[in-house]
Structures are given as structure tokens and as C-alpha cells.
């Protein structure tokens, strides 16, 4: 099973700041990595797939990068609606696995 | 508009059974892989099962293998999860999620649409 480790667990930032979230895989997942955003009481929403492709309707301030074992989700300038929990997920092999999440909170 | 609506959740006793359903609309259901993903209260996400568009192959997480059964009825645009021998650790919100892959022949998928989730509580 591929283990995904996200860091930091919590990121405290102000609106307008840049957010950099990390996801590290226990073995190579090539570029088969997705990112999701989840707000309280809501289902997750797909942001990024195949490491760097934005999903339909996702603003350009969200970008993904990386390959192999190290990946980054960047939010270039935080909007009030971006404060949420973010999860990475590998879609390289079975079982599909998620990281433990990074909470982006208002400082 | 793509919609996935789960039903069938609720309170069940330890060792009991429950069947979840997910009705799809807004897309051609029989051409998409489908999955169940769960989230324990206050915890992260856990993928638990996958079913191909045709009904085969099927995959399960180790935590539910042998106890849960995924199935689908393409004529009814519906996905199901039969859950038996339920344990306290199965308490979670269960989501059905549409699976997508951009690489032909590569089955492991990401999830582009999710249902609103349904709560299953297992009591001892």
C-alpha cells in the first residue's frame, strides 16, 4: 500500500498570502496524484488531477506540481473561501490511498 | 448537471447489515467506474471499493474485504454497497464517487464527482 504523508498538518495564513502544501508518497506514483478541497459538512471537491491539471471550474490560483514521490499544491493568493482541509490521493495503484490532510486556517 | 444521491444509511447494531444505494443522474452512468469512499467522524478519507463500468473488475480495501459487496445496476443508474458484519470502526459518512482516469487502460482512478454523503453509525 502506498502511504501518502501530508505536511504541515495545519497551515495558519492570512487572506492574500501564498499557501504551499506538501504530499510525499512512500513509493513513486509517477504523476498519478490528485488534490481535493473539503469544507465542513461538505463532500470533497476535486482540484487537481495527474499532479498538475486543474479540474473543470477550478480557479487559476490553484496549481499542482511534482512527480514521483514529492508533490506540491500551491494557492497563489488565498481567498476567504479557500480556508478548508486539503487532501492528496494517489491513483497509481490499488488500493487507492489518501493523505491525512492539511488544514488551511485563518491566522 | 452531474448528481449522485446516496441513501440507506442510519443506525445499526454491531454485527448487523446495511445496504447503501447511490442514484446517478446527469451523465451516462454505464460508461463510468464508480467507487465508495468513507470518512470517519473527524478523520480523513478512506477509499473502500471500486467497480468498473461493466461491473467487473471489482476491488476492495483490506479493511472491508469479505464483509462489504459493491454492485451496480446500469439500467437503474444505481450503485450499491452491501455491508455485513458491521463493526464500530465502520461508523463513517459514506460517499459514492465517480471514478475517472485520463490514461487508457489505467484503472486506478481519481474522483471527479461526489455525492453528499450518508452517515452510517454502528452501535455496540
A7-55: per-residue pLDDT in tens?
Answer: 999 999 999 999 999 999 999 999 999 999 999 999 999 999 999 999 9
What pLDDT digit, counting tens, does each position of A48-90 carry? 999 999 999 999 999 999 999 999 999 999 999 999 999 999 9
Whether cis (ω within 30° of 0) applies to the bond prior to B75 is no
Give the pLDDT confidence score for residue B29 in this predicted structure. 97
Tell me how crowded residue B36 is: count the other CB atoms within 10 A of its CB: 27
Q: Choose from B1, B2, B22, B45 for mutation: most chain A CBs within 10 A.
A: B45
Chain B residues within 8 A of A38 when measuring between CB atoms: 45
Would you state the pLDDT for residue B106? 78
* pLDDT value for B104: 80
- The residues, ordered by sequence, that sit 6+ positions from B55 with a Cβ below 8 Å of its Cβ are B71, B72, B74
* Residues in A 58-77 with any Cβ partner in B closer than 8 A: none
The predicted structure's pLDDT at residue B49: 98
C-alpha cell at B37: 469512499
B108 and A32: CB-CB below 8 Å?
A: yes
**Which positions ≥6 away from A49 have C-beta within 8 Å?**
A34, A55, A91, B100, B102, B110, B112
**Which pLDDT score is estimated for A88?**
98
Query: What pLDDT score does B124 carry?
Result: 85
Query: C-alpha dihedral over A92, A95, A96, A99, to 10 degrees?
Result: -110
φ/ψ of A56, rounded to 5, equals: -55, 130
Nearest in space to A23 (alpha carbons), one of A80, A76, A91, A95: A91
What pLDDT does B73 receive? Answer: 98
Give, for all 124 residues of chain B, the pLDDT tens digit.
999 999 999 999 999 999 999 999 999 999 999 999 999 998 999 999 999 999 999 999 999 999 999 999 999 999 999 999 999 999 999 999 999 988 887 788 999 999 999 999 999 8
Report residue A41 as a C-alpha cell: 459538512
> Cβ contact (<8 Å) for B114 and A45?
yes
pLDDT at A18: 98
Per-residue pLDDT at B26: 97
Amino acid at each position: 500500500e502506498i502511504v501518502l504523508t501530508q505536511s504541515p498538518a495545519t497551515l495558519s495564513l492570512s487572506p492574500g498570502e501564498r499557501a504551499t502544501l506538501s504530499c510525499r508518497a512512500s513509493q513513486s506514483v509517477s504523476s498519478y496524484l490528485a488534490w481535493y478541497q473539503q469544507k465542513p459538512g461538505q463532500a470533497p471537491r476535486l482540484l487537481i488531477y495527474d499532479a498538475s491539471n486543474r479540474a473543470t471550474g477550478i480557479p487559476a490560483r490553484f496549481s499542482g506540481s511534482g512527480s514521483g514521490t514529492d508533490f506540491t499544491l500551491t494557492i497563489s493568493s488565498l481567498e476567504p473561501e479557500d480556508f478548508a482541509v486539503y487532501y492528496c490521493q494517489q491513483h497509481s495503484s490499488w488500493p487507492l490511498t489518501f493523505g491525512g490532510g492539511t488544514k488551511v486556517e485563518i491566522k | 448537471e452531474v448528481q449522485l444521491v446516496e441513501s440507506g444509511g442510519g443506525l445499526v447494531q454491531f454485527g448487523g447489515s446495511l445496504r447503501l444505494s447511490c442514484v446517478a443522474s446527469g451523465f451516462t452512468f454505464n460508461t463510468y467506474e464508480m467507487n465508495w469512499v468513507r470518512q470517519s467522524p473527524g478523520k480523513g478519507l478512506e477509499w473502500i471499493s471500486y467497480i468498473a463500468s461493466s461491473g467487473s473488475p471489482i476491488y476492495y480495501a483490506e479493511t472491508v474485504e469479505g464483509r462489504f459487496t459493491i454492485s451496480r445496476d446500469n439500467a437503474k443508474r444505481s450503485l450499491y454497497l452491501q455491508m455485513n458484519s458491521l463493526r464500530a470502526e465502520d461508523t463513517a459518512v459514506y460517499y459514492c464517487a465517480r471514478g475517472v482516469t485520463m490514461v487508457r487502460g489505467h484503472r486506478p482512478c481519481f474522483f471527479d464527482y461526489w455525492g453528499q454523503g450518508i452517515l452510517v453509525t454502528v452501535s455496540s
